[in-house]
Amino acid sequence: MDKDEIIKAREKWEAEKLKKFLEKRPERGSFRLDFGDEIYRLYTPEHLRDWNYLEKLGFPGDYPYTRGVYPTMYRGKLWTMRQYAGFATAEETNKRYKYLLERGQTGLSVAFDLPTQIGYDSDDPMALGEVGKVGVAIDTIEDMRILFNGIPLDKISTSMTINSTAAILLSMYQIIGEEQGVDSTLLRGTIQNDILKEYIARGTYIFPPQPSMRLVADAIIYCAEHIPKWNPISISGYHIREAGSTSVQEIAFTIGDGIEYVKWITKRGVDVDKFAPRLSFFFAAHNNFFEEIAKLRAARRLWAKIMKERFGAKNPRSWMLRFHTQTGGSTLTAQQPLNNIIRVTIQALAAVLGGTQSLHTNSYDEALALPTEKSVEIALRTQQIIAYESGIVDTIDPLGGSYYVEWLTDRIEEEAIKYLDKIDAMGGMTRAIESGYIQKEIADSAYKIQMKIENGERVVVGVNKFVDENEKLNIELMKVDEAVAQRQIKRLKHIRKMRDARKVEESLDALKRVAEKEEGNENNMVPYIYRCVKNYATLGEIVAALKEIFGEYRAPTVI
Protein backbone atom coordinates (compact mmCIF):
# COMPACT_ATOMS: atom_id res chain seq x y z
CA MET A 1 0.00 0.00 0.00
CA ASP A 2 1.11 3.52 -0.74
CA LYS A 3 2.56 5.35 2.30
CA ASP A 4 0.52 8.46 1.52
CA GLU A 5 -2.67 6.46 1.63
CA ILE A 6 -1.73 5.13 5.04
CA ILE A 7 -0.97 8.62 6.33
CA LYS A 8 -4.30 9.87 5.07
CA ALA A 9 -6.13 6.98 6.66
CA ARG A 10 -4.29 7.48 9.92
CA GLU A 11 -5.18 11.16 10.03
CA LYS A 12 -8.78 10.29 9.42
CA TRP A 13 -8.72 7.71 12.23
CA GLU A 14 -7.16 10.26 14.59
CA ALA A 15 -9.69 12.95 13.79
CA GLU A 16 -12.78 10.82 13.75
CA LYS A 17 -12.15 8.11 16.27
CA LEU A 18 -9.12 8.66 18.46
CA LYS A 19 -9.75 12.29 19.41
CA LYS A 20 -13.24 11.65 20.72
CA PHE A 21 -12.14 8.52 22.49
CA LEU A 22 -9.29 10.31 24.26
CA GLU A 23 -11.65 13.02 25.43
CA LYS A 24 -13.79 10.45 27.13
CA ARG A 25 -10.96 8.20 28.23
CA PRO A 26 -7.50 9.79 28.47
CA GLU A 27 -4.47 7.55 28.44
CA ARG A 28 -2.72 6.50 31.66
CA GLY A 29 0.31 8.63 30.96
CA SER A 30 3.19 8.85 28.55
CA PHE A 31 5.38 5.89 27.79
CA ARG A 32 9.12 6.00 27.49
CA LEU A 33 12.11 3.66 27.12
CA ASP A 34 14.99 3.91 29.60
CA PHE A 35 17.36 5.15 26.91
CA GLY A 36 15.11 8.14 26.37
CA ASP A 37 12.84 7.46 23.40
CA GLU A 38 9.14 7.99 23.63
CA ILE A 39 7.05 4.95 22.77
CA TYR A 40 4.30 5.93 20.35
CA ARG A 41 0.71 4.88 20.61
CA LEU A 42 0.81 2.83 17.47
CA TYR A 43 3.38 1.72 14.92
CA THR A 44 2.53 1.52 11.26
CA PRO A 45 4.46 1.33 7.97
CA GLU A 46 4.99 5.09 8.43
CA HIS A 47 7.63 4.34 11.06
CA LEU A 48 9.65 2.23 8.67
CA ARG A 49 10.30 4.88 6.06
CA ASP A 50 12.82 3.78 3.39
CA TRP A 51 12.98 0.47 5.16
CA ASN A 52 14.52 -2.16 2.92
CA TYR A 53 13.79 -5.75 3.86
CA LEU A 54 16.86 -7.27 2.23
CA GLU A 55 19.18 -4.68 3.68
CA LYS A 56 17.75 -4.63 7.20
CA LEU A 57 16.81 -8.26 7.68
CA GLY A 58 17.76 -10.61 4.89
CA PHE A 59 17.46 -14.28 5.76
CA PRO A 60 18.45 -16.32 8.79
CA GLY A 61 22.03 -17.52 8.49
CA ASP A 62 22.74 -14.68 6.04
CA TYR A 63 24.33 -11.28 6.52
CA PRO A 64 23.46 -9.14 8.49
CA TYR A 65 21.94 -11.94 10.58
CA THR A 66 19.14 -9.82 12.03
CA ARG A 67 16.81 -12.82 11.89
CA GLY A 68 19.31 -15.22 13.44
CA VAL A 69 22.72 -16.75 12.84
CA TYR A 70 21.56 -20.15 11.55
CA PRO A 71 19.38 -20.94 8.53
CA THR A 72 16.94 -23.07 10.55
CA MET A 73 17.37 -21.66 14.08
CA TYR A 74 15.37 -23.62 16.70
CA ARG A 75 13.67 -25.80 14.09
CA GLY A 76 17.06 -27.48 13.71
CA LYS A 77 18.49 -27.31 17.22
CA LEU A 78 17.20 -25.71 20.39
CA TRP A 79 19.41 -23.35 22.35
CA THR A 80 21.69 -24.89 24.97
CA MET A 81 20.04 -24.90 28.39
CA ARG A 82 22.89 -23.93 30.63
CA GLN A 83 22.32 -23.06 34.27
CA TYR A 84 25.17 -21.12 35.90
CA ALA A 85 25.98 -23.17 38.99
CA GLY A 86 28.66 -23.62 41.59
CA PHE A 87 29.05 -23.41 45.36
CA ALA A 88 31.05 -24.80 48.28
CA THR A 89 33.65 -27.37 47.20
CA ALA A 90 34.03 -29.38 44.01
CA GLU A 91 32.15 -32.34 45.52
CA GLU A 92 28.94 -30.39 46.18
CA THR A 93 29.07 -28.68 42.80
CA ASN A 94 29.71 -31.94 40.94
CA LYS A 95 26.58 -33.28 42.59
CA ARG A 96 24.59 -30.21 41.46
CA TYR A 97 25.82 -30.66 37.87
CA LYS A 98 24.65 -34.25 37.83
CA TYR A 99 21.31 -33.18 39.31
CA LEU A 100 20.85 -30.65 36.49
CA LEU A 101 22.01 -33.02 33.74
CA GLU A 102 19.64 -35.72 34.97
CA ARG A 103 16.81 -33.20 34.61
CA GLY A 104 17.58 -32.38 31.00
CA GLN A 105 20.08 -29.55 31.14
CA THR A 106 22.14 -29.62 27.94
CA GLY A 107 25.32 -27.73 28.89
CA LEU A 108 27.34 -26.87 31.98
CA SER A 109 28.17 -23.42 33.29
CA VAL A 110 30.66 -23.11 36.11
CA ALA A 111 30.37 -20.44 38.78
CA PHE A 112 33.66 -19.99 40.64
CA ASP A 113 33.99 -18.39 44.03
CA LEU A 114 35.55 -14.93 44.27
CA PRO A 115 38.98 -16.03 45.54
CA THR A 116 39.28 -18.28 42.46
CA GLN A 117 38.22 -15.41 40.22
CA ILE A 118 40.59 -12.89 41.79
CA GLY A 119 43.58 -15.17 42.24
CA TYR A 120 43.68 -16.00 45.94
CA ASP A 121 44.09 -19.46 47.40
CA SER A 122 41.39 -20.50 49.84
CA ASP A 123 43.72 -19.98 52.82
CA ASP A 124 44.71 -16.45 51.85
CA PRO A 125 43.61 -13.83 54.42
CA MET A 126 41.88 -11.96 51.57
CA ALA A 127 39.62 -14.98 51.04
CA LEU A 128 38.05 -14.55 54.48
CA GLY A 129 34.38 -15.49 54.34
CA GLU A 130 34.34 -15.86 50.56
CA VAL A 131 35.41 -19.48 50.05
CA GLY A 132 32.69 -21.41 48.21
CA LYS A 133 30.16 -18.56 48.58
CA VAL A 134 29.26 -17.34 45.09
CA GLY A 135 30.72 -20.34 43.32
CA VAL A 136 32.92 -23.35 43.69
CA ALA A 137 36.40 -23.02 45.20
CA ILE A 138 39.21 -24.18 42.91
CA ASP A 139 42.79 -24.01 44.17
CA THR A 140 44.52 -26.73 42.16
CA ILE A 141 44.00 -29.20 39.35
CA GLU A 142 42.87 -31.71 41.98
CA ASP A 143 39.70 -29.65 42.66
CA MET A 144 38.96 -29.52 38.94
CA ARG A 145 39.35 -33.32 38.72
CA ILE A 146 36.68 -33.73 41.40
CA LEU A 147 34.45 -31.09 39.78
CA PHE A 148 34.20 -33.04 36.51
CA ASN A 149 34.30 -36.50 38.00
CA GLY A 150 32.00 -38.76 35.98
CA ILE A 151 31.22 -36.04 33.41
CA PRO A 152 32.61 -36.92 29.96
CA LEU A 153 34.12 -33.76 28.48
CA ASP A 154 33.71 -34.99 24.90
CA LYS A 155 29.93 -35.20 25.37
CA ILE A 156 29.15 -31.86 27.00
CA SER A 157 30.06 -28.22 26.46
CA THR A 158 31.16 -26.23 29.47
CA SER A 159 31.07 -22.50 29.96
CA MET A 160 33.31 -21.05 32.64
CA THR A 161 32.70 -17.59 34.04
CA ILE A 162 36.33 -16.79 34.60
CA ASN A 163 38.27 -13.74 33.50
CA SER A 164 41.55 -12.63 35.12
CA THR A 165 42.43 -16.24 35.87
CA ALA A 166 40.87 -17.67 32.71
CA ALA A 167 44.08 -19.16 31.31
CA ILE A 168 44.60 -21.11 34.55
CA LEU A 169 41.14 -22.64 34.55
CA LEU A 170 41.31 -23.33 30.82
CA SER A 171 44.57 -25.22 31.35
CA MET A 172 42.98 -27.23 34.13
CA TYR A 173 40.06 -28.12 31.87
CA GLN A 174 42.39 -29.12 29.07
CA ILE A 175 44.38 -31.37 31.41
CA ILE A 176 41.23 -33.01 32.82
CA GLY A 177 40.18 -33.66 29.22
CA GLU A 178 43.54 -35.30 28.50
CA GLU A 179 43.17 -37.45 31.61
CA GLN A 180 39.79 -38.59 30.30
CA GLY A 181 41.36 -39.38 26.94
CA VAL A 182 39.63 -36.46 25.20
CA ASP A 183 41.81 -34.65 22.71
CA SER A 184 41.88 -30.85 23.03
CA THR A 185 40.52 -30.50 19.50
CA LEU A 186 37.27 -32.09 20.71
CA LEU A 187 36.71 -29.88 23.75
CA ARG A 188 33.73 -27.55 23.46
CA GLY A 189 32.93 -24.67 25.74
CA THR A 190 33.65 -21.09 26.65
CA ILE A 191 35.83 -19.07 28.96
CA GLN A 192 34.47 -15.61 29.65
CA ASN A 193 37.97 -14.05 29.44
CA ASP A 194 36.48 -10.57 28.96
CA ILE A 195 38.64 -8.33 31.09
CA LEU A 196 37.36 -4.98 29.84
CA LYS A 197 33.92 -5.39 31.35
CA GLU A 198 35.59 -6.34 34.63
CA TYR A 199 37.03 -2.84 34.81
CA ILE A 200 33.67 -1.41 33.74
CA ALA A 201 31.23 -3.33 35.86
CA ARG A 202 32.08 -6.70 37.34
CA GLY A 203 35.20 -5.99 39.35
CA THR A 204 37.33 -9.15 39.23
CA TYR A 205 40.34 -7.57 37.54
CA ILE A 206 43.80 -8.20 38.98
CA PHE A 207 46.45 -6.67 36.70
CA PRO A 208 46.53 -3.31 34.91
CA PRO A 209 44.80 -3.11 31.49
CA GLN A 210 47.88 -3.64 29.27
CA PRO A 211 49.10 -6.98 30.65
CA SER A 212 45.46 -8.05 31.13
CA MET A 213 44.78 -7.50 27.44
CA ARG A 214 47.90 -9.48 26.65
CA LEU A 215 46.59 -12.41 28.71
CA VAL A 216 43.22 -12.22 26.96
CA ALA A 217 44.87 -12.19 23.54
CA ASP A 218 47.23 -15.03 24.51
CA ALA A 219 44.28 -17.24 25.43
CA ILE A 220 42.36 -16.39 22.25
CA ILE A 221 45.35 -17.14 20.04
CA TYR A 222 46.23 -20.29 22.01
CA CYS A 223 42.70 -21.63 21.56
CA ALA A 224 42.70 -20.88 17.83
CA GLU A 225 45.75 -23.15 17.56
CA HIS A 226 45.11 -25.86 20.14
CA ILE A 227 41.42 -25.92 21.15
CA PRO A 228 39.72 -24.89 17.91
CA LYS A 229 36.13 -25.63 18.98
CA TRP A 230 36.46 -23.54 22.12
CA ASN A 231 34.99 -20.05 22.47
CA PRO A 232 37.99 -18.29 24.01
CA ILE A 233 36.01 -15.20 25.04
CA SER A 234 32.47 -14.26 25.87
CA ILE A 235 32.24 -10.52 25.41
CA SER A 236 29.72 -9.62 28.04
CA GLY A 237 27.05 -6.98 28.25
CA TYR A 238 25.23 -8.83 31.00
CA HIS A 239 27.20 -7.30 33.86
CA ILE A 240 27.09 -3.86 32.29
CA ARG A 241 23.30 -4.07 32.23
CA GLU A 242 23.12 -5.47 35.73
CA ALA A 243 25.27 -2.58 36.93
CA GLY A 244 22.47 -0.31 35.78
CA SER A 245 23.01 0.52 32.12
CA THR A 246 20.26 0.93 29.54
CA SER A 247 19.74 -1.56 26.73
CA VAL A 248 21.51 0.79 24.32
CA GLN A 249 24.52 1.18 26.59
CA GLU A 250 24.61 -2.58 27.10
CA ILE A 251 25.13 -3.36 23.42
CA ALA A 252 27.19 -0.24 22.67
CA PHE A 253 29.75 -0.88 25.40
CA THR A 254 29.85 -4.61 24.70
CA ILE A 255 30.43 -4.13 21.01
CA GLY A 256 32.93 -1.40 21.92
CA ASP A 257 34.80 -3.99 23.98
CA GLY A 258 34.59 -6.43 21.05
CA ILE A 259 36.12 -3.85 18.72
CA GLU A 260 38.95 -3.29 21.19
CA TYR A 261 39.77 -7.03 21.32
CA VAL A 262 39.74 -7.35 17.54
CA LYS A 263 41.99 -4.31 17.20
CA TRP A 264 44.39 -5.71 19.83
CA ILE A 265 44.73 -9.15 18.30
CA THR A 266 45.00 -8.04 14.69
CA LYS A 267 47.74 -5.66 15.86
CA ARG A 268 49.65 -8.76 16.90
CA GLY A 269 49.63 -9.80 13.28
CA VAL A 270 46.89 -12.41 13.51
CA ASP A 271 44.45 -12.46 10.60
CA VAL A 272 40.96 -11.47 11.70
CA ASP A 273 39.36 -14.57 10.18
CA LYS A 274 41.67 -16.80 12.17
CA PHE A 275 40.10 -15.92 15.53
CA ALA A 276 36.90 -13.89 14.95
CA PRO A 277 34.67 -16.90 14.14
CA ARG A 278 35.08 -18.04 17.75
CA LEU A 279 34.36 -14.75 19.48
CA SER A 280 31.15 -15.14 21.44
CA PHE A 281 28.91 -12.76 23.37
CA PHE A 282 26.72 -12.64 26.44
CA PHE A 283 23.70 -10.41 27.01
CA ALA A 284 21.03 -9.84 29.62
CA ALA A 285 17.29 -10.24 29.20
CA HIS A 286 15.39 -7.73 31.31
CA ASN A 287 11.69 -6.99 31.66
CA ASN A 288 10.80 -4.70 28.77
CA PHE A 289 9.91 -7.50 26.40
CA PHE A 290 10.07 -5.92 22.95
CA GLU A 291 13.00 -3.71 23.85
CA GLU A 292 15.05 -6.77 24.78
CA ILE A 293 14.17 -8.62 21.59
CA ALA A 294 15.00 -5.58 19.47
CA LYS A 295 18.28 -5.10 21.35
CA LEU A 296 19.45 -8.62 20.52
CA ARG A 297 18.50 -8.27 16.86
CA ALA A 298 20.22 -4.86 16.67
CA ALA A 299 23.39 -6.22 18.27
CA ARG A 300 23.59 -8.98 15.68
CA ARG A 301 23.19 -6.61 12.76
CA LEU A 302 25.63 -4.08 14.17
CA TRP A 303 28.39 -6.61 14.85
CA ALA A 304 28.05 -8.13 11.38
CA LYS A 305 28.48 -4.73 9.75
CA ILE A 306 31.47 -3.83 11.92
CA MET A 307 33.26 -7.08 11.23
CA LYS A 308 32.64 -6.97 7.52
CA GLU A 309 33.05 -3.29 6.80
CA ARG A 310 35.44 -2.02 9.46
CA PHE A 311 37.68 -5.06 9.93
CA GLY A 312 37.32 -6.50 6.46
CA ALA A 313 36.58 -10.01 7.71
CA LYS A 314 35.89 -12.37 4.80
CA ASN A 315 34.70 -15.49 6.56
CA PRO A 316 30.94 -15.21 7.22
CA ARG A 317 31.49 -16.91 10.58
CA SER A 318 33.49 -13.84 11.62
CA TRP A 319 30.39 -11.71 11.02
CA MET A 320 28.10 -13.83 13.19
CA LEU A 321 27.29 -12.63 16.68
CA ARG A 322 26.59 -15.79 18.67
CA PHE A 323 25.53 -15.21 22.26
CA HIS A 324 24.47 -16.57 25.58
CA THR A 325 21.67 -14.88 27.51
CA GLN A 326 20.88 -14.74 31.20
CA THR A 327 17.68 -13.35 32.63
CA GLY A 328 18.16 -10.19 34.68
CA GLY A 329 19.30 -10.91 38.22
CA SER A 330 18.76 -7.32 39.31
CA THR A 331 15.09 -7.45 38.29
CA LEU A 332 14.36 -10.15 40.85
CA THR A 333 12.74 -9.17 44.10
CA ALA A 334 13.24 -10.47 47.61
CA GLN A 335 9.60 -9.57 48.25
CA GLN A 336 7.00 -12.13 47.13
CA PRO A 337 9.78 -14.24 45.60
CA LEU A 338 7.54 -16.61 43.65
CA ASN A 339 6.64 -13.65 41.40
CA ASN A 340 10.17 -13.98 40.06
CA ILE A 341 9.17 -17.15 38.20
CA ILE A 342 6.91 -14.99 36.04
CA ARG A 343 9.56 -12.33 35.49
CA VAL A 344 12.06 -14.99 34.45
CA THR A 345 9.54 -16.50 32.05
CA ILE A 346 8.94 -13.19 30.30
CA GLN A 347 12.66 -12.50 30.08
CA ALA A 348 13.44 -15.99 28.82
CA LEU A 349 10.80 -15.58 26.10
CA ALA A 350 12.54 -12.39 25.02
CA ALA A 351 15.91 -14.17 24.90
CA VAL A 352 14.49 -16.91 22.70
CA LEU A 353 12.61 -14.50 20.44
CA GLY A 354 15.88 -12.57 20.23
CA GLY A 355 17.61 -15.69 18.88
CA THR A 356 19.91 -16.74 21.72
CA GLN A 357 22.31 -19.67 21.37
CA SER A 358 22.22 -20.61 25.04
CA LEU A 359 20.25 -19.52 28.06
CA HIS A 360 20.43 -19.35 31.82
CA THR A 361 17.14 -18.74 33.60
CA ASN A 362 17.44 -17.32 37.11
CA SER A 363 15.82 -19.03 40.05
CA TYR A 364 13.10 -17.33 42.10
CA ASP A 365 15.20 -17.13 45.27
CA GLU A 366 18.24 -15.42 43.79
CA ALA A 367 17.57 -11.96 45.17
CA LEU A 368 18.48 -13.50 48.50
CA ALA A 369 20.83 -16.43 48.02
CA LEU A 370 22.18 -19.02 45.63
CA PRO A 371 19.40 -21.25 44.32
CA THR A 372 18.22 -24.44 45.97
CA GLU A 373 17.69 -27.67 44.03
CA LYS A 374 13.99 -26.96 44.02
CA SER A 375 14.22 -23.41 42.70
CA VAL A 376 16.78 -24.23 40.01
CA GLU A 377 14.63 -27.09 38.79
CA ILE A 378 11.73 -24.70 38.18
CA ALA A 379 14.10 -22.35 36.34
CA LEU A 380 15.23 -25.17 34.06
CA ARG A 381 11.64 -26.36 33.55
CA THR A 382 10.75 -22.82 32.45
CA GLN A 383 13.14 -23.18 29.53
CA GLN A 384 11.83 -26.63 28.70
CA ILE A 385 8.22 -25.43 28.68
CA ILE A 386 9.14 -22.56 26.36
CA ALA A 387 11.06 -24.96 24.11
CA TYR A 388 8.57 -27.80 23.96
CA GLU A 389 5.14 -26.32 24.71
CA SER A 390 4.90 -22.66 23.70
CA GLY A 391 5.28 -23.00 19.95
CA ILE A 392 7.38 -19.84 19.68
CA VAL A 393 10.29 -21.93 18.40
CA ASP A 394 8.39 -23.37 15.46
CA THR A 395 9.18 -20.57 13.05
CA ILE A 396 12.20 -18.31 12.74
CA ASP A 397 12.19 -14.78 14.19
CA PRO A 398 8.39 -14.59 14.41
CA LEU A 399 8.51 -10.91 15.37
CA GLY A 400 10.44 -9.93 12.26
CA GLY A 401 8.37 -7.40 10.35
CA SER A 402 6.51 -6.10 13.38
CA TYR A 403 6.36 -2.33 12.89
CA TYR A 404 7.22 -1.73 16.53
CA VAL A 405 10.02 -4.30 16.81
CA GLU A 406 11.66 -3.19 13.57
CA TRP A 407 11.43 0.48 14.55
CA LEU A 408 12.91 -0.33 17.94
CA THR A 409 15.67 -2.46 16.41
CA ASP A 410 16.63 0.46 14.17
CA ARG A 411 16.50 2.98 17.00
CA ILE A 412 18.64 0.90 19.38
CA GLU A 413 21.18 0.34 16.62
CA GLU A 414 21.29 4.08 15.81
CA GLU A 415 21.78 5.07 19.45
CA ALA A 416 24.45 2.42 19.98
CA ILE A 417 26.36 3.71 16.95
CA LYS A 418 26.37 7.20 18.52
CA TYR A 419 28.10 5.79 21.59
CA LEU A 420 30.57 3.82 19.47
CA ASP A 421 31.50 6.96 17.53
CA LYS A 422 32.07 8.78 20.80
CA ILE A 423 34.27 5.95 22.13
CA ASP A 424 36.28 5.94 18.90
CA ALA A 425 36.79 9.69 19.27
CA MET A 426 38.10 9.08 22.80
CA GLY A 427 40.72 6.70 21.42
CA GLY A 428 38.96 3.40 22.00
CA MET A 429 37.43 1.46 24.83
CA THR A 430 40.50 1.06 27.03
CA ARG A 431 40.93 4.83 27.13
CA ALA A 432 37.23 5.40 27.72
CA ILE A 433 37.34 3.00 30.67
CA GLU A 434 40.53 4.44 32.14
CA SER A 435 39.01 7.91 32.06
CA GLY A 436 35.97 6.64 33.99
CA TYR A 437 33.58 7.75 31.22
CA ILE A 438 31.91 4.37 30.74
CA GLN A 439 31.51 3.76 34.47
CA LYS A 440 29.99 7.22 34.92
CA GLU A 441 27.48 6.69 32.11
CA ILE A 442 26.34 3.44 33.73
CA ALA A 443 26.19 4.91 37.25
CA ASP A 444 24.05 7.77 35.92
CA SER A 445 21.60 5.34 34.32
CA ALA A 446 21.48 3.21 37.46
CA TYR A 447 20.62 6.22 39.56
CA LYS A 448 17.92 7.37 37.14
CA ILE A 449 16.33 3.92 37.11
CA GLN A 450 16.38 3.81 40.93
CA MET A 451 14.73 7.25 41.04
CA LYS A 452 11.94 5.98 38.79
CA ILE A 453 11.37 3.11 41.21
CA GLU A 454 11.44 5.51 44.17
CA ASN A 455 8.82 7.81 42.69
CA GLY A 456 6.65 4.98 41.45
CA GLU A 457 7.07 5.83 37.78
CA ARG A 458 8.45 2.33 37.39
CA VAL A 459 6.32 -0.28 39.08
CA VAL A 460 7.96 -3.24 40.77
CA VAL A 461 5.19 -5.53 41.90
CA GLY A 462 5.53 -6.43 45.56
CA VAL A 463 8.11 -3.69 46.16
CA ASN A 464 6.52 -0.33 45.36
CA LYS A 465 3.03 -1.49 44.43
CA PHE A 466 0.82 -4.35 45.60
CA VAL A 467 3.02 -4.59 48.67
CA ASP A 468 2.19 -7.19 51.28
CA GLU A 469 2.86 -5.35 54.55
CA ASN A 470 2.67 -8.52 56.60
CA GLU A 471 4.82 -10.57 54.32
CA LYS A 472 6.94 -13.22 55.96
CA LEU A 473 9.54 -14.99 53.86
CA ASN A 474 8.22 -18.51 53.41
CA ILE A 475 10.72 -20.08 51.07
CA GLU A 476 13.65 -22.22 52.01
CA LEU A 477 17.04 -20.64 51.22
CA MET A 478 20.32 -22.28 50.47
CA LYS A 479 23.21 -21.53 52.79
CA VAL A 480 26.87 -22.35 52.27
CA ASP A 481 28.18 -23.08 55.72
CA GLU A 482 31.43 -21.66 57.02
CA ALA A 483 32.92 -25.15 57.52
CA VAL A 484 33.32 -25.43 53.74
CA ALA A 485 36.39 -23.20 53.88
CA GLN A 486 38.04 -25.48 56.43
CA ARG A 487 37.50 -28.54 54.25
CA GLN A 488 38.82 -26.77 51.20
CA ILE A 489 41.91 -25.49 53.03
CA LYS A 490 42.63 -28.99 54.30
CA ARG A 491 42.72 -30.35 50.77
CA LEU A 492 44.89 -27.45 49.59
CA LYS A 493 47.42 -28.05 52.36
CA HIS A 494 47.52 -31.73 51.52
CA ILE A 495 48.29 -30.97 47.85
CA ARG A 496 51.02 -28.53 48.81
CA LYS A 497 52.67 -31.30 50.84
CA MET A 498 52.30 -34.06 48.24
CA ARG A 499 53.58 -32.25 45.15
CA ASP A 500 57.13 -31.94 43.83
CA ALA A 501 58.09 -28.50 45.16
CA ARG A 502 61.05 -28.20 42.81
CA LYS A 503 58.89 -28.67 39.72
CA VAL A 504 56.43 -26.08 41.00
CA GLU A 505 59.23 -23.60 41.54
CA GLU A 506 60.72 -24.23 38.11
CA SER A 507 57.47 -23.82 36.25
CA LEU A 508 56.57 -20.64 38.13
CA ASP A 509 60.02 -19.23 37.34
CA ALA A 510 59.62 -20.06 33.67
CA LEU A 511 56.26 -18.29 33.67
CA LYS A 512 57.80 -15.18 35.21
CA ARG A 513 60.58 -15.18 32.61
CA VAL A 514 58.14 -15.26 29.70
CA ALA A 515 55.89 -12.66 31.35
CA GLU A 516 58.86 -10.30 31.53
CA LYS A 517 59.32 -10.50 27.79
CA GLU A 518 57.37 -8.35 25.37
CA GLU A 519 53.86 -9.24 24.31
CA GLY A 520 53.90 -11.32 21.14
CA ASN A 521 52.88 -14.61 19.63
CA GLU A 522 56.30 -16.11 20.42
CA ASN A 523 55.85 -15.16 24.10
CA ASN A 524 52.40 -16.61 24.64
CA MET A 525 52.02 -17.26 28.38
CA VAL A 526 49.34 -19.96 28.20
CA PRO A 527 51.69 -22.95 27.67
CA TYR A 528 53.69 -21.81 30.69
CA ILE A 529 50.57 -21.51 32.80
CA TYR A 530 49.58 -24.99 31.60
CA ARG A 531 52.87 -26.37 32.92
CA CYS A 532 52.42 -24.68 36.30
CA VAL A 533 48.94 -26.16 36.60
CA LYS A 534 50.15 -29.61 35.61
CA ASN A 535 52.82 -29.47 38.31
CA TYR A 536 50.18 -28.66 40.94
CA ALA A 537 51.08 -25.00 41.38
CA THR A 538 48.09 -23.39 43.09
CA LEU A 539 45.99 -20.72 41.44
CA GLY A 540 47.17 -18.24 44.06
CA GLU A 541 50.82 -19.02 43.36
CA ILE A 542 50.43 -18.57 39.62
CA VAL A 543 48.69 -15.22 40.08
CA ALA A 544 51.27 -14.10 42.65
CA ALA A 545 54.05 -14.88 40.16
CA LEU A 546 52.33 -12.75 37.51
CA LYS A 547 51.69 -9.94 40.00
CA GLU A 548 55.45 -9.75 40.58
CA ILE A 549 55.88 -8.86 36.94
CA PHE A 550 52.68 -6.97 36.11
CA GLY A 551 51.70 -5.34 39.39
CA GLU A 552 48.11 -4.83 40.54
CA TYR A 553 45.46 -2.46 39.28
CA ARG A 554 43.75 0.11 41.45
CA ALA A 555 40.57 1.33 39.84
CA PRO A 556 39.39 4.93 40.00
CA THR A 557 36.21 5.12 42.08
CA VAL A 558 33.32 6.61 40.19
CA ILE A 559 30.09 7.25 42.03
Our finding on whether 473 is near other proteins (CB under 8 A) is yes
Q: What is the Cα–Cα distance from 271 to 313, expressed in whole angstroms?
A: 9
End-to-end CA distance of the chain: 52
In whole angstroms, the minimum distance from the beta carbon of 367 to other proteins comes to 5
CB of 86 to other proteins, least distance (A): 13
CA distances to 15, 290, 448, 478 from 342, in Å: 39, 16, 25, 21
Contact present, 120 and 544 (Cβ < 8 Å): no
> Using the rule CB under 8 A, which residue among 60, 64, 189, 244 binds other proteins?
244
Interface pick for other proteins out of 243, 344, 399, 484 (rule CB under 8 A): 243
β-pairing, 80-81 vs 358-360, is: parallel
Give the footprint of other proteins on residues 203-242 (CB under 8 A). Answer: 203-204, 242
Q: How far is CA 486 from the centre of its chain?
A: 32
Nearer to other proteins, 135 or 355 (CB): 135
- Candidate residues 133, 286, 343, 491; the one interacting with other proteins per rule CB under 8 A: 133
Q: Which stretch binds other proteins (CB under 8 A): 22-30, 63-71, 202-210, 348-356?
A: 202-210
532 in contact with other proteins (CB under 8 A)? no
Helix axes 539-550, 526-534, angle to 10 degrees: 140
> Which residue's CB is nearer to other proteins, number 449 or number 495?
449
Q: How far apart are CA 67 and CA 437, in angstroms?
A: 33
150 by Cβ neighbours in 10 Å (0-12 / 13-18 / 19+) ranks as: exposed
Binding mask 331-370 for other proteins (x = CB under 8 A): -xxxx-------------------------------xxxx
Q: How many CA atoms lie within 13 A of 213 on its CB side?
A: 23
Residues in the interface with other proteins (CB under 8 A) total 47
Is 126 among the residues that bind other proteins (CB under 8 A)?
Answer: yes
Site string for other proteins, 302-331 (x = CB under 8 A): ----------------------------x-
CA distance 97 to 83: 9
Q: Which of 6/342 has CB closer to other proteins?
A: 342
CB nearer other proteins, residue 87 or residue 148:
87
Q: Between 385 and 453, whose beta carbon lies closer to other proteins?
A: 453
Amino acid identity of residue 358, one-letter, is S
Nearer to other proteins, 332 or 393 (CB): 332
CB 87 within 8 A of CB 329: no
DSSP 411-456: HHHHHHHHHHHHHHHTTSHHHHHHTTHHHHHHHHHHHHHHHHHHTT
Give residues in contact with other proteins (CB under 8 A).
114-115, 117-118, 120, 125-130, 133-134, 198, 201-204, 242-244, 330, 332-335, 367-370, 443, 446-447, 450, 453-454, 460, 463-464, 473, 477, 480, 482, 555, 557-559
